[in-house]
Structure 1
Amino acid sequence: MSAPSRLGERLADRIKARIEARLTREWQRRGPLAWALSPLSLAFGAAAALRRASFSLGWRESVRIGLPVVVVGNVTVGGTGKTPTVIALVDALRAAGFTPGVVSRGYGAKVAEPRAVTAASHPDEAGDEPLIIARRTGAPVWVCPDRVAAARALVTAHSDVDVIVSDDGLQHYRLQRDVELVVFDQRLAGNGFLLPAGPLREPLSRRRDATLVNNPFSRELPPWPDTYALTISPGDAWHLADPSLRRPLAQFAGARVLAAAGIGSPERFFATLRAAGLAPATRALPDHYAYRRDPFEGAQADVILITEKDAVKLRGRRDARIWVVPVEAALPGRLIALVVEKLRGRSLA
């Protein structure tokens, strides 16, 4: 690629990341831009309500696949910590005696029909998050824009599976569900407006079985019913070129560290590193950044710390400076008990 082309791509990436950051800031307050866009939010809300009613009233088909379904999703735009929540939920369900499988849309993947995801899958064919879930849990994972088709294919291929976890499937009403878990981060509902004036895909009042709040800055919970604190903590970093090499984050203190993240909320990743005692330079990349070019070329850093979501797209890179920071979610025991009780009740129905 020519130098002008690389410069153009780099500029486009920065513009996209800045637009995402600007929208995130604007959606936290009811400023002039939010009020100017509020009429469009009314139209968006009406369309969303009509779509949901079309399923609840039977105008459009809603399918029960014969197994209990737990949906993990959000009502806001952007990353909130759903992927580590799904991983922790799969582990908790296994510990409770279930055999879970996972379905996902496979955002960004080139897939039209149901497809199995394995640890060896390519992110272009699986999507970032499903690939992480498959690698971390070893559970059956299938992707398809039609989650009903994905669930049916999964059950056909894995007859021992007795519960389906739907990753980021809250608004996919075609797949009937038994438990809905909604995840928020420190931004909560922002300014409370629906898109495009605010971050909400659906009204905050929408029905759900439980709410999880992933807020690394405060343990105080909003006054919402059935709300639980979600703790997401970093583990030891592993080396991209040699995953057997692991180092506690504290060992990077004093080095020139660049933190980069192509996720929905990069600032949350940067805050996690600061809380671990690091003072990194930061580079926010667009969400689901594809790494078609090397964004670290010329970076003045001894160590580059990235997320697992970024790592799945950097397979084969040999930059010895790159380390991957995994995260672990801890689900409250009361929440796990709630989910298990509902699932066992559904299984006996």
Structure 2
Amino acid sequence: MKTLELLITRAWQSNSPMLTTLAPLSVLYGVVGRVRKSLYDNDKLSKYHAPIPVIIIGNITVGGSGKTPLIIALVKYLQSKGISVGVISRGYGRQMSEPALVKADSTPKDAGDEPCLIVGQTGVAMAVGANRREAIELLIQHHPDLQLILSDDGLQHYALHRDVEWIVVDGVRGFGNEKLFPQGFLREPLSRLDGASVIYHDARTHLYDDTAMTMHLVPSTPIPLLGGDKSLPPQQVYAVSGIGYPDRFFQTLADLGFDVVKKPFGDHHDFSLSDLAEFTDLPIIITAKDAIKIRELTKHSSHAIFDNVWILPVQAVLSDGVYGEMDRVLGELDIGN
């Protein structure tokens, strides 16, 4: 399955002619999506209304768009304003079916890699579950003082009423061939952006006006997976990734001066020791998200390979437009006044 995912991803990136053979599936996908959305929009299917406001942070494309570092930055901003915020997520890749709270000692198998990263960097109250209603109810049960919930993804989860939708768009990657999945990487047609609040993930901030909602990621110096104060100067490295859009990671390392040997795995890849054991001749650099899973491997093995694994930390830098819109939304929802 992961091999097929990588093949399709590479076909999207190269706009391969083979994608035309997937057009019938894209048509079917689009029809099902439109019908499903219409049923919720016209109250033919019921929506769950949470007792406190919900902001959806999602996208209309398959693969990474930068939602996780964005949510981390937004949570920190809300916390700095004294607002009691919680986060929910599907918790992709977790092995449990029932909803669960994400704690500081949760593992990717308990909660998923991205929720572990979010809680590890913010300490936010968070719950995961495929059923968003159950996740919200569990979260509020244990944190009754919450004023606001951010939903990590869930833009297409129309069974959940949302007070606000923010859609993240990768300004560099764009929309490829602008076709729906699987012929392209759109989850919904581009018309879905009409009238929406869009955050553009793009370091080329000069392309946007001063009021635009933009974000970009700023990397720090790679740090050792096992801790310590060692440094890694620019050199040839293996860039190992299990994220939705690894090219951004590879390019960031290249911009930092590293000679990158690309080693992409599928999104949310469940790393094993054998995935890394062959890369012994060069340092390995991984993302902070992948570090959540790879660090778990160190608890069950003392293999020397881990001494040569480095994490590339990144931080989302948000424009004044993002903070201004969040303040406007808080006022509209009467939160923090």
Q: Compared with structure 1, are the counterparts of its residues 150 and 87 closer, same or farther at alpha carbon in structure 2 (3 Å cutoff)?
A: same
Take 1:342 and 1:18, find their aligned partners in 2: how far apart are those partners? Answer: 39
The answer to whether the aligner puts 1:328 opposite 2:325 as a matched pair is no
Q: 1:245-265: per-residue Cα shift (whole Å, max 9, x none)? A: 364xxx4223x4211101111
In the other structure, the counterpart of 2:244 is: 264
In the other structure, the counterpart of 2:148 is: 163
Q: What is the identity, as a one-letter code, of the residue corresponding to 1:145? A: A
Take 2:96 and 2:250, find their aligned partners in 1: how far apart are those partners? Answer: 32
Equivalent position SS for 1:231:
strand
In the other structure, the counterpart of 1:5 is: none
The answer to whether the aligner puts 1:190 opposite 2:176 as a matched pair is yes
The answer to whether the aligner puts 1:74 opposite 2:59 as a matched pair is yes
Kindly state the Cα deviation for residue 141 of structure 1 after the two structures are TM-superposed: 1.0
Q: 1:301-338: per-residue Cα shift (whole Å, max 9, x none)? A: 34211011111112242410011111111111222221
Q: 1:40-89: per-residue Cα shift (whole Å, max 9, x none)? A: 32221111011111111111111111211111111001111111011111
Q: Compared with structure 1, are the counterparts of its residues 121 and 324 closer, same or farther at alpha carbon in structure 2 (3 Å cutoff)?
A: same
Q: Which runs of 5+ in 1 are unaligned?
A: 1-11
In the other structure, the counterpart of 2:185 is: 199
* Mapping 1:93-132, distance limit 5 Å: 93-132=78-117
Q: What is the identity, as a one-letter code, of the residue corresponding to 1:101? A: G
In the other structure, the counterpart of 1:42 is: 27
Take 2:239 and 2:79, find their aligned partners in 1: how far apart are those partners? Answer: 34
Equivalent position SS for 1:305:
strand
Q: Compared with structure 1, are the counterparts of its residues 37 and 337 closer, same or farther at alpha carbon in structure 2 (3 Å cutoff)?
A: same
Q: Compared with structure 1, are the counterparts of its residues 194 and 238 closer, same or farther at alpha carbon in structure 2 (3 Å cutoff)?
A: same
Equivalent position SS for 2:213:
strand
RMSD between aligned residues: 2.3
Kindly state the Cα deviation for residue 280 of structure 1 after the two structures are TM-superposed: 2.2
Say whether the 8 Å CA contact 1:16–1:286 is kept in structure 2: no
Say whether the 8 Å CA contact 2:273–2:297 is kept in structure 1: no
The answer to whether the aligner puts 1:58 opposite 2:38 as a matched pair is no
* Mapping 1:23-38, distance limit 5 Å: 23-26=11-14, 29=15, 32-38=17-23
Take 1:36 and 1:47, find their aligned partners in 2: how far apart are those partners? Answer: 19
Kindly state the Cα deviation for residue 222 of structure 1 after the two structures are TM-superposed: 8.2
Task: Output the TM-score relative to the length of structure 1.
Answer: 0.86
Q: Compared with structure 1, are the counterparts of its residues 269 and 208 closer, same or farther at alpha carbon in structure 2 (3 Å cutoff)?
A: farther
Say whether the 8 Å CA contact 1:259–1:304 is kept in structure 2: yes
Q: Compared with structure 1, are the counterparts of its residues 171 and 146 closer, same or farther at alpha carbon in structure 2 (3 Å cutoff)?
A: same
Q: Compared with structure 1, are the counterparts of its residues 95 and 208 closer, same or farther at alpha carbon in structure 2 (3 Å cutoff)?
A: farther
Kindly state the Cα deviation for residue 150 of structure 1 after the two structures are TM-superposed: 0.5
Equivalent position SS for 2:49:
coil
Q: Which runs of 4+ in 1 moved over 6 A?
A: none
Take 2:118 and 2:258, find their aligned partners in 1: how far apart are those partners? Answer: 27
In the other structure, the counterpart of 1:6 is: none
Q: What is the identity, as a one-letter code, of the residue corresponding to 1:267? A: D
Q: Compared with structure 1, are the counterparts of its residues 174 and 231 closer, same or farther at alpha carbon in structure 2 (3 Å cutoff)?
A: same
Equivalent position SS for 2:276:
coil
In the other structure, the counterpart of 1:294 is: 274
* Mapping 1:245-324, distance limit 5 Å: 245=229, 247=231, 251-254=232-235, 256-314=236-294, 315-317=296-298, 318=302, 319-324=306-311
In the other structure, the counterpart of 1:180 is: 165
Q: 1:187-208: per-residue Cα shift (whole Å, max 9, x none)? A: 2111111112111111111156
Q: What is the identity, as a one-letter code, of the residue corresponding to 2:103? A: T
Q: Compared with structure 1, are the counterparts of its residues 20 and 120 closer, same or farther at alpha carbon in structure 2 (3 Å cutoff)?
A: farther
Q: What is the identity, as a one-letter code, of the residue corresponding to 1:313? A: K
In the other structure, the counterpart of 1:9 is: none
Identity across aligned pairs (percent)? 34
Say whether the 8 Å CA contact 2:285–2:312 is kept in structure 1: yes
Take 1:55 and 1:21, find their aligned partners in 2: how far apart are those partners? Answer: 31
Q: 1:259-317: per-residue Cα shift (whole Å, max 9, x none)? A: 11011111110101111111122211121111134222132434211011111112242
Say whether the 8 Å CA contact 2:91–2:111 is kept in structure 1: yes
Take 1:219 and 1:33, find their aligned partners in 2: how far apart are those partners? Answer: 35
Equivalent position SS for 1:252:
coil
The answer to whether the aligner puts 1:338 opposite 2:325 as a matched pair is yes
In the other structure, the counterpart of 1:8 is: none
* Mapping 1:10-21, distance limit 5 Å: 15-16=3-4, 18-21=6-9
Say whether the 8 Å CA contact 1:68–1:347 is kept in structure 2: no
Take 1:306 and 1:20, find their aligned partners in 2: how far apart are those partners? Answer: 23
Say whether the 8 Å CA contact 1:241–1:316 is kept in structure 2: no
Equivalent position SS for 1:121:
coil
